[in-house]
Amino acid sequence: MPGCTVYECFGAGQHVTQGTYGGRSWRESPELAREMFAVFPVVRHLHELLTYLTEALALPAARPVHAELQAARDDVALLTDADPATILTVDVAALRGRVGPLLGRASSLTRTAGPRHRDADLVGARLRDADLRGADLRGAYLLGADLRGADLRQADLLGADLRGARLDGADLTGALFLTPPQVASARGDRTTRLPTPLVAPAHW
């Protein structure tokens, strides 16, 4: 079932169980359930941010902001290792507000100038064979969009909604901040080119 492959916790589940709670499970310790269920989504957000920051730090062209990216990553990593009470005080929105601009700067330093479609409503858009190299597609709504054969090399896809988007034959080589859930929610085929280390979902 394709829908089952879309969800991704970015390793938060294992971290909460094995790290935050030292191997204890809410099944064996039901008194922990309410707290663990509240801690988990916060840690998931933290792990997602770590994924983006780690990717940004691997971009050679983003070297001018590497120090700031590393500092932000260290801070987020420290929070993931905190005790439950501390984790529950994390202001996720404020943290994203701090990290987002840093990722944006890393993206701008890395991408060639391309179309700007940030937060754009492109639901069902006909973009077959479109030249979207280096495009800013952050937060764009691309549900059901026809991107077959589109050139999306180095496009910034952070937070883009790709549910049901057609990616057959599309080239996403070097696309930035593309995650497994985004890929799994789209529709591609064996000719779709994905950035390393992403792999095509089994249901394509």
pLDDT in tens, 128-166: 999 999 999 999 999 999 999 999 999 999 999 999 999
pLDDT at 35: 92
Contact 168, 193 (CB under 8 A): no
Check whether domain 113-204 has CATH 2.160.20.80, yes or no? yes
% of the chain residues with pLDDT over 70: 96
pLDDT at 4: 52
Angle, vertex CA 76, rays to CA 75 and CA 78, nearest 5: 65
Residue spans per domain, the chain:
2-110, 113-204
Phi, psi of 30 (to 5 degrees): -60, -20
> Mean per-residue pLDDT for 84-110?
97
> Mean per-residue pLDDT for 58-85?
97
pLDDT in tens, 164-179: 999 999 999 999 999 9
Judged against a pLDDT cut of 90, whether residue 198 lies above it is answered with: yes
Instruction: Give the integer Cα–Cα distance in Å for 201 and 198.
Output: 9
